[in-house]
Structure 1
Amino acid sequence: MKDKVVVCAYHNVGYRCLEELLRQGADVRLVFSHEDSPGEQIWFQSVCGLAARHGIPCLTSSINAPENREILAELSPDFLLSFYYRNMITPEVLSLAGRGALNMHGSYLPKYRGRVPVNWAVIKGETSTGVTLHYMVEKPDAGEIVDQERVEIAFEDTAFDVFNKVTEAAVEVLRRSWPQLIEGSAPRIPMDLKAGNYCGGRRPEDGRIDWNLSAVEIYNLVRGVTHPYPGAFTTLAGQKLLVWQAFPVEGTGGPGRVVSTQPLLVGTGSGLLEIRRLQFEGKTELCAADFVAATPCHGALFT
């Protein structure tokens, strides 16, 4: 008899990992996912849609809800697998998986435990990150490691670019690890939490640009939160101005001061930031040349 599997999944990582489990013939009995938020740009594939096409029930209420704990207790799954599921799963629920509860995390643990690890890795200027399959325990992203895969972060990569790389790495890790988990031969490597770090979630308002930072640091913020994320922003003449694409260049200028409009260069704490695409909130996104033509700003101060 096959091991019974319950999957908690959302987003592209959730979709692709569920797809890989089904490709390998896993007996997925139940899926937990999320309702799409009306305030979020939905650019990713639907886990619920995939489950429906395979005749698998999909619930969007929290797996921790009492009625869902009862369903799980009756089902008595062998494995509980979490792929980009956004709720912390309680120890009471984790204990219902007879052979283990595992999570696929979007970083090379123990670095960047916690929320939005891909965005944080880009914002912090990392040159690599990865994906980690690990056992779930009460503390987030802290259980024993089964398998990991590194991915490169190129200097030009946006968080979206890196997320796509991480998604492919997650599928590769699951492709390798699932047969081992079924056989009972998968590694269980203790995680050294002191060798890593924990990061909290990010809110749209965390995208405000501090022009006293270096041009490279601001560039990392811009590419870490650009489309499809909420974007980095500053203020010009009292209006919120979103910066979607930029690049650091050599030069000097007062922090936030526009020192050139051809190209559009802004001073920072160290170096200049060339802004390439931007928009006033609620207006059309423009390339820098079109923006400058519509909004003369030489010598203006971004705050």
Structure 2
Amino acid sequence: MHDSLLPKYAGFSPLIWALINGEPEVGVTAHMMNDELDAGDIVRQEAVPVGPADTATDLFHKTVGLIAPVTIGALDLIASGRTEFTRQDRSGASFFHKRSIEDSRIDWSWPAEDLERLVRAQSEPYPSAFTFHRGARLEVLAAVVSTGRYGGTPGRIFYREGDGVVIVAGADARTGRNRGLAITRVRTEDGRELPATEYFTSMGGYLTNQP
């Protein structure tokens, strides 16, 4: 049993990687074992859609309910005497490594849409997405893609929009065509959790990848 729609997202942390990459659905796969990890023939597979506000925690709860029926259905097929199952199309296979703290670090050269999904993918109990402000680590707990388009340098603390504070994002942010990431909730290095509009008392300065 593997918690992805094989042959995509074999390996580790498939729900988190799939959410970061904007997949429209996730699921579970019952497959036969062979000499290669997560590469055996597919016995049964079921999917659920990824909602626009789903976190990795939400996707876990959506998919955990599939495990029992997929497992029982697969065992029933095997018990019926069936021996031929669906071969994986290895041309569409992808294999992902286990996530580490480095994978939660925010890179402001990413587009805001990707960063918003990263924040949702790093929901509790997973380690939160983080950045640095004035040398101190700052966890980003919630964020949305901005309504407006903001130009300049990636990481710039730029503008208050609604309930969030917009950070300029994207490698080509200088063009002024990009949405920003509107951070709405943060956690400081000393464990305080508060709205971003309270944390950022003034605009200006930068969020960075390193202290």
Same fold (TM over 0.5): yes
Shift of 1:260: 1.8
Letter of the 1:264 counterpart: V
Matched position secondary structure for 1:226: coil
* Matches of 1:211 and 1:248, distance apart in 2: 13
Structure 1 segment 132-211 matched on structure 2, within 5 A: 132-185=29-82, 187-211=84-108
8 Å CA contact retained: 1:261, 1:297 = no
Partner of 2:129: 232
Question: Displacement, 1:281?
Answer: 2.3
Report how far residue 182 of structure 1 moved: 2.6
Identity among equivalent positions (%) equals 36
Assess, with a 3 A threshold, how the Cα gap between structure 1 residues 205 and 297 changes in structure 2: closer, same or farther. farther
- What is the match of residue 279 of structure 1? 187
Q: Partner residue of 1:252? A: 150
**Which piece of structure 1 moves more, 141-150 or 164-173?**
164-173
Q: Relative to structure 2, which stretch is displaced further, 263-272 or 170-179?
A: 170-179
Q: 2:192 is matched by which residue type in structure 1? A: T
Say whether 1:113 aligns with 2:14.
no
Aligned partner (choices 115, 122, 138) of residue 218 of structure 1: 115
Query: Residue 168 of structure 1: CA displacement?
Result: 1.3
Per the alignment, residue 22 of structure 2 pairs with: 125
Tell me, what secondary structure is at the counterpart of 1:156?
A: coil
1:265 equivalent in alignment to 2:166:
yes
Which piece of structure 1 moves more, 108-117 or 160-169? 160-169
Q: What is the identity, as a one-letter code, of the residue corresponding to 2:73?
A: R
Cα deviation 1:64-111 (Å, max 9, x = unaligned): xxxxxxxxxxxxxxxxxxxxxxxxxxxxxxxxxxxxxxxx11111001
Q: Per the alignment, in what secondary structure is the counterpart of residue 203 of structure 2? A: coil
What is the CA distance between 1:185 and its match in structure 2?
A: 3.0
Deviating 4+ runs (over 6 angstroms): none
Q: Which has the higher contact order (CA 8 A, sep 6+)?
A: 2
RMSD, aligned CA: 1.6
**What is the alpha-carbon distance in structure 2 between the residues aligned to residue 185 and residue 138 of structure 1?**
21
User: What TM-score comes out, normalization by structure 2 length?
Assistant: 0.87
Residue by residue, what CA displacement relative to the aligned partner does 1:185-243 show, whole Å, maximum 9, x if unpaired? 36522112111211111101211111111110111111111211101111000001110
Corresponding residue for residue 81 of structure 1: none
Which protein is bigger by CA-based radius of gyration? Answer: 1
SS at match of 1:105: coil
Amino acid of the residue matched to residue 207 of structure 2? F
> Size of the alignment, in residue pairs?
197
Residues 212 and 255, structure 1, Cα contact 8 Å, conserved in 2:
yes
Alignment pair present for 1:302 and 2:207 = yes
d(CA) in 1 for partners of 2:70, 2:84: 13
Q: Secondary structure at the match of 2:109?
A: coil
Distance 1:290 1:301 in 2: 17
Q: Indicate the SS of the match to 2:207.
A: coil
